[in-house]
Amino acid sequence: MSVTHPAGFTAAAVAAGLKSSGAKDLALVVNQGPRFDSATVFTANRCKANPVLWSQEVVKDGVVKAVVLNSGGANCYTGAEGFRTTHAVAEQVASGLGIGAIDVVVCSTGLIGLVNPRQNLLDGVDAAVAALGAHGEDAARAIMTTDTVPKQVVVEGAGWSVAGMAKGAGMLAPALATMLVVITTDAIVPAAELDAALRAVTRVSFDRLDSDGCMSTNDTVTVMASGASGITPTPADFTVALTQACTQLAMQLLKDAEGAEHEIAITVLGAASEDDAVEVARSVARSNLFKAAVFGKDPNWGRVLASVGTTAAAFDPGDLDVAINGVWVCRESTPAEDPSGVDLAGREVSVTIDLKSGTERATVWTNDLTHAYVHENSAYSS
Amino acid sequence: MSVTHPAGFTAAAVAAGLKSSGAKDLALVVNQGPRFDSATVFTANRCKANPVLWSQEVVKDGVVKAVVLNSGGANCYTGAEGFRTTHAVAEQVASGLGIGAIDVVVCSTGLIGLVNPRQNLLDGVDAAVAALGAHGEDAARAIMTTDTVPKQVVVEGAGWSVAGMAKGAGMLAPALATMLVVITTDAIVPAAELDAALRAVTRVSFDRLDSDGCMSTNDTVTVMASGASGITPTPADFTVALTQACTQLAMQLLKDAEGAEHEIAITVLGAASEDDAVEVARSVARSNLFKAAVFGKDPNWGRVLASVGTTAAAFDPGDLDVAINGVWVCRESTPAEDPSGVDLAGREVSVTIDLKSGTERATVWTNDLTHAYVHENSAYSS
């Protein structure tokens, strides 16, 4: 059930002393080969953390042999000194494994603006290298911050598999959401094919997650293919497995979002383009008023349409349909079925908006806005 | 201190039975002339309420003789029947005053999707017409929804004055924020000049208010000039007075925003363009994470920069300065002065972001994200 399930991967997790709790806070995932194909996508935020600046260079040649991740500090906005820390960590991993630092992706998560203690990280790397084994589960736990559960997935292919781990609970929005994901597979997948599959998949999975509208500085999704199964799946088969793995991880992130009491799937139908559908769905996903209403179990479709109206998508403002949990509470932009028939007691909420302007559709996932979200994010760094 | 302060205006407020509390919920403001110049701006939301659809036609010729406003229901997404209600209300006002319905602006506020009881409104109009007098203060109270205090202003000119009333506490965002504003003046100001002044002023006052990122369907700002003072101020003098009136009303809206505990002024300096400055300031104003941090009295500048990074404005991600309440907690995108020196105990918070990419600047005002905001907006319609 972990990133060490596919053949060719080892992992370890140690307590490097970054988390004040003394919990494990440094994870290492190593591809033992024989192949080292990889693909990575990063946050679209223009303010990128030092590990992202480093890793962007690492992934350019499609070869990644190890990913080292720490929680307890994002190493973002820490300047040249912070970059040197990231570089030193990569060198320490490389030296311990006998590989080049330029094949080591570094990921960090935690508070922005905190300088991570370099020696703790370097000592932690040494301990992790010494402890490498089938410890994917430990690794998934070590990267948790405000996450309440580790997120992991395994998808089985025919003689090969795809596995993944993820962390992320806040600052969870599109264009990769403070979300770190490591995917492993023992299939033989050339780097270019991995890259194409990963970009196609993240576009409709992690990038469609918009829990709180806040885009992170550290988001990284790395997939490594060891080829250790000796099997070369068809591109379609591999893409399907990768899609299942990423979608399941995205749903695990959604379910563990900070303070959330509902998972809300906003589906826009009848759009003139997929971009229109995404724009409309995202506008609703970012309406604090609608999200607070869902928390209050109030099927407030007026707040849905008020958000739709802020977009540039093609639609007739006088001819919009809205359903909440299957009840069409609004037809042709006027009240229709009785909203009191909408049951919002469960965690899962579906909102469907028909723009009646085309045939495209898209779903964006978000959460409700709760007292617990406000509490967690007002008390986080204090 | 009310819209009936300038010469030539009367007002009245009555309980029409729209508010279940039995409080006054219908207001009428009448320009008695001798002139009837006017200008109006509406929400930029494409999903507009019926009163907005009606009033857009009314204001086209620059003549407005009366504004009738109701709380207790927004008359939005209520279809053709809702439009007929708006029209009937305008006709009733016209008939009572002996003017044309096409000179009557109608404003409604309250829940979206509720059909307002037409007969209550028509009876209320009759009662209001009969009660017209120097009752601006009552009118300001009658348009309140979740507002806790009426918002009014008077700015004195040389022998003339500008006065205003406003309501708005939630769904408070740019492009006019569920904000209804009536401005009166007894200066002589031709309609074209009124329009130019109003658009210039709202662009940098109400449009720079972004309390919760949610744009309303009903926002309307109408200014009526009676000319009853007999004085024609210079365009500059009038624009200054209108600016002061609108800015003071905007600040009153900000201070009474639903559940807020802080008023936050986000100023962006060193921008390549004013649009860049506004885009960056607004992105921070819409960061739930930053707003929750302010609620928690946490000067979390990392969340500021994470928002800046989501914009397309011109800046170097490695060279940004951020001050919170005058303490430069971030210089050149790295930690600078000690954040523990930032005192967030008071209600007023200033955030300054220097993009170092030009000479333009802009300020956007927002509020913090609090438990009370979540509570009020999860319980509002239930």
| Residue A10, φ and ψ in degrees, nearest 5 | -125, 160
Residue contact A79–B333, C-beta within 8 A: yes
Contact (CB<8Å) B288/A113 = no
Q: Which residue's entry shows tokens 């053949």?
A: A7
Which residues in chain A have their CB less than 8 angstroms from residue B334's CB?
77-79, 82
Of B213, B306, B381, the CB nearest to A216: B306
Mean pLDDT for A212-217 is: 72
CA–CA dist A242, A238 (Å, integer): 6
Separation between Cα atoms, residue B191 and residue A308, nearest integer Å: 33
Residue A66 DSSP symbol: E
With an 8 Å Cβ cutoff, is B289 touching chain A?
A: yes
Task: Tell me which residue in A286, A332, A371 faces B374 most closely, judged by beta carbons.
Answer: A371
Greatest alpha-carbon span in chain A: 67
* Contact status of A316 with chain B (Cβ, < 8 Å): no
Is A270 in contact with A316 (CB distance < 8 Å)?
no
Q: Please list every residue in chain B whose beta carbon sits closer than 8 Å to the beta carbon of residue A288.
A: 212-214, 288, 369, 373, 377
* Cβ contact A373–B288 (<8 Å): yes
Q: Which of B86, B145, B178, B184 is catalytic?
A: B178
Region class of A79: left (phi > 0), else alpha (psi between -120 and 50), else beta = left
CATH 3.40.50.150 fits A9-255, yes or no: no
CB A75 within 8 A of CB A85: yes
Burial class for B237, CB neighbours closer than 10 Å (0-12, 13-18, 19+) = middle
Strand ranges across the sheet with B321-324? B334-335, B327-331, B321-324, B348-354, B263-271, B360-367
Residue B54's alpha-carbon distances to A29, A58, A310, B97, B124, in angstroms, are 64, 60, 20, 19, 19
Domain ranges of chain A: 9-255, 263-379
Q: Per residue in B155-181, pLDDT tens?
A: 898 899 999 998 876 555 544 446 788
How deeply is A130 buried, as exposed, middle or buried, from its count of CB atoms within 10 A (0-12, 13-18, 19+)? Answer: exposed
What are the helix (H) ranges across chain A? 50-58, 79-97, 118-130, 136-142, 191-204, 235-255, 274-285, 288-295, 301-308, 371-379
Q: A310 — contact with chain B (CB < 8 Å)?
A: yes
Cα dihedral B57/B61/B67/B73 (nearest 10): 10
Minimal C-alpha gap between B222 and chain A (Å): 22
Residue A206: predicted pLDDT: 84
Beta bridge partners of A304: none
CA dihedral angle for residue A326, residue A327, residue A331, residue A334, rounded to 10 degrees: -140
- B240: Cβ contacts below 8 Å, ≥ 6 apart: none
The verdict on a CB contact (< 8 Å) between A371 and B370 is: no
Question: Containing H/E element for B66?
Answer: strand B66-70
- What's chain A's Rg over C-alpha atoms? 21
The residue among B42, B46, B290 with the most chain A CBs within 10 A of its CB, best to mutate, is B46
Same CATH fold, B263-379 and B9-255?
no
Q: Give me the residues of chain B with pLDDT under 70, please.
A: 169-178, 213-214, 380-382
Query: Which comes out higher in pLDDT, residue A224 or B208?
Result: A224
> Mind telling me the catalytic residues of A?
178
Q: Do A286 and B213 touch (CB under 8 A)?
A: yes
What integer pLDDT is reported at residue B176 of this predicted model?
Answer: 40
**Six token digits for residue B83:** 């439009």
Q: Is the pLDDT of residue A153 over 50?
A: yes
CB atoms within 10 A of CB A330: 25
Q: Does B344 touch chain A (CB under 8 A)?
A: no
CA–CA distance, A348 with A232 (Å, rounded to integer): 38
Contact B309 A213 (CB under 8 A): no
- Burial label for B80, CB within 10 Å (0-12, 13-18, 19+), is exposed
- How far apart CA A63 and CA A71 sit, in angstroms, is 24
Q: What are phi and psi of A320, to 5 degrees?
A: -115, 140
How high is the pLDDT of residue A382?
A: 39
Q: Provide the pLDDT for residue B170.
A: 56
How many CB atoms neighbour CB A25 within 10 A? 29
β-pair partners for B224: B38, B184
Give the minimum alpha-carbon distance from A339 to chain B in angstroms, rounded to a whole number.
11
CATH entry, A263-379, from 3.30.70.141, 3.30.1490.20, 3.10.20.340, 1.20.58.710: 3.10.20.340
Q: What is the structure's pLDDT at B381?
A: 47
* Residue B34: Cβ-neighbour burial (10 angstroms; 0-12, 13-18, 19+): exposed
Indicate the residue type of A352: T
A214 at the B interface (CB within 8 A)?
A: yes
Predicted pLDDT of residue B382: 39
- Place A68 in a pLDDT band, splitting at 50, 70 and 90: very high
Crossing angle between the packed helical segments A371-379 and B371-379, to the nearest 10 degrees: 170
Q: Which of B216, B300, B378 sits opposite A293 (nearest CB)?
A: B378
Mapped onto helix, strand or coil, the DSSP state of residue A306 is: helix
Model confidence pLDDT, tens digit, residues A326-367:
999 999 988 899 999 999 999 999 999 999 999 999 888 888
Q: Within an 8 Å CB–CB cutoff, is residue B306 touching chain A?
A: yes
Per-residue exposure over A171-203, b if at least 16 CB sit within 10 Å of its own CB, e if not: bbbbbbbbbbbbbbbbbbbebebbbebbeebbe
Cα(A228)–Cα(A277) distance, rounded to whole angstroms?
41
Candidates B47, B79, B374; nearest CB to A309 = B47
**Testing the interface with A: which of B53, B109, B111, B214 to mutate, by most A Cβ within 10 A?**
B214
Is residue B178 annotated as part of the catalytic site, yes or no?
Answer: yes
- Nearest CB neighbour to A369, from listed B301, B305, B374: B374
Tell me the C-alpha distance between B81 and B242, whole Å. 37
Report the residue from A217, A306, A377 with minimal CB separation from B47.
A306
Q: A170: which chain B residues are within 8 Å (Cβ-Cβ)?
A: 289
Q: Is the ipTM of this complex over 0.90?
A: no
Q: CA A136 to CA A12: how far, in whole Å?
A: 7
Determine contact: B345 vs chain A, CB below 8 A.
no
Segment A33-58, tens digit of pLDDT: 999 999 998 887 777 889 999 999 99
Q: Percentage of chain A surpassing pLDDT 70?
A: 96
Query: Are the beta carbons of A89 and A48 closer than 8 angstroms?
Result: no
Q: Does A45 touch chain B (CB under 8 A)?
A: yes
A-chain residues within 8 Å CB-CB of B377?
A: 288-289, 292-293, 296, 369
In contact, B101 and B140? CB cutoff 8 Å: no
End-to-end alpha-carbon separation of chain B, Å? 35
pTM reported for the whole predicted model = 0.78
Q: Taking 50 as the threshold, does the pLDDT of residue A381 lie above it?
A: no
Task: Return the closest-CA partner of residue B213 out of B78, B362, B56, B45.
Answer: B45
Q: Which amino acid is at B231?
A: I
Tokens of A139: 């690794």
For residue B299, whether the previous peptide bond is cis, meaning omega lies within 30 degrees of 0, is no
What is the rounded distance in angstroms from the CA atom of residue A78 to the CA atom of residue B22? 58
Q: Assign 3-class secondary structure to A330-373.
A: EECCEECCCHHHCCCCCCEEEEEEECCCCCEEEEEEEECCCHHH
Q: How many CB atoms lie within 10 A of CB B236?
A: 9
- Asked whether A42 and A220 are in contact (CB, 8 A), the reply is yes
A380 touches chain B (CB under 8 A): yes
Indicate the pLDDT class of residue A253, thresholds 50, 70 and 90.
confident
Among all residues of chain A, which has the CA nearest to that of B382? A298
Q: Is B56 on the interface with A (CB under 8 A)?
A: no
Tell me the three state secondary structure of residue B141: helix
pLDDT at residue A171 above 80?
no
Q: Distances from the Cα of B331 to the Cαs of A156, B302, B342, in angstroms?
A: 49, 12, 15
Q: Is B47 on the interface with A (CB under 8 A)?
A: yes
> Mind telling me how many Å the CA of B174 is from chain A's nearest CA?
10
Please tell me the distance from the alpha carbon of residue B5 to that of residue B202, in angstroms, as a whole number: 22
Report CB contact under 8 Å: A377, B79.
no
Q: How far is B316 from chain A (nearest CA, A)?
A: 9
pLDDT computed for residue A313 by the predictor: 94
Pairing of strands A66-70, A104-108: parallel
Q: Does B377 touch chain A (CB under 8 A)?
A: yes
Chain A nearest-CA residue for B379: A296
**Contacts A311 to B, Cβ<8 Å:** 46
To which H or E segment does residue B88 belong?
Answer: helix B79-97
Shortest Cα distance, chain A CAs vs residue B175, angstroms: 10
Closest chain A residue to B380, measured at CA: A293
Q: Which helix (H) or strand (E) holds B57?
A: helix B50-58
Distances in whole angstroms, Cα of residue B185 to Cα of each of A301, B80, B131, B229: 39, 35, 21, 9
Residue B354: closest CA among B313, B294, B293: B313
**CB of A172 within 8 Å of any CB in chain B?**
no
Look at the alpha carbons of A70, A71, A73, A78 in this order and tell me if their dihedral is positive or negative. positive
Q: Using a CB-CB distance cutoff of 8 angstroms, which residues of chain B are in contact with residue A215?
A: 306, 309-310
